[in-house]
Amino acid sequence: MEVKFKGNPIRLNGIPLKKGDIFPDFKVKNTQLEDVTFKDTDGMRIFLTVPSIDTPVCDLEVARFNKELIHYPYVSCYTISMDLPFAQERWCGAKRVENVTVLSDYKEHSFALATGTYLQELGLLTRAVFVVDPQDKIIYLEYVSEVTEHPDYDAVLEEIKKQNN
């Protein structure tokens, strides 16, 4: 699969996922450097991948989901990047992020390769959104075609609204 970064084509490494797939297992680190795997999550989940949490588009994306998810207490949201856990923790504290859990894939690139989101040339994750239902099935996904652009927030929010009806 290929996306663009600042207009330039770049190939994603890993296994691209599709709607209906069972979400794959992964191992990442939380801000306390503890392992977190897919099995440590449950219920309705949103997984966001971003290149770096402390850049303008990523900052706005995580802040938007943090704000929107106040209305959806049945949804857990995880943002995964290659940022070091210490930097993620500082950023969350400064931004008062309470409804999104940040996780780091800096060490093993496990999430990146399991989800086809690895921009190997840059050593970063592409921008993508995965909505996973309580049965671990992907019910919505978006690999954002231009990494520097926002995902379709309305489509994500519409999907999680449908799941609660």
Pairing of strands 118-119, 35-37: unpaired
* 58 has catalytic annotation: yes
Question: Which of 12, 58, 80, 97 is the catalytic position?
Answer: 58
Report which secondary-structure segment, H or E, holds 154.
helix 153-164
Q: Which residues of 45-60 are buried (b: 16+ CB within 10 A; e: fewer)?
A: bbbbbbbbbbeebbee
The span from the CA of 157 to the CA of 96, in Å, is 21
Active site residues: 58
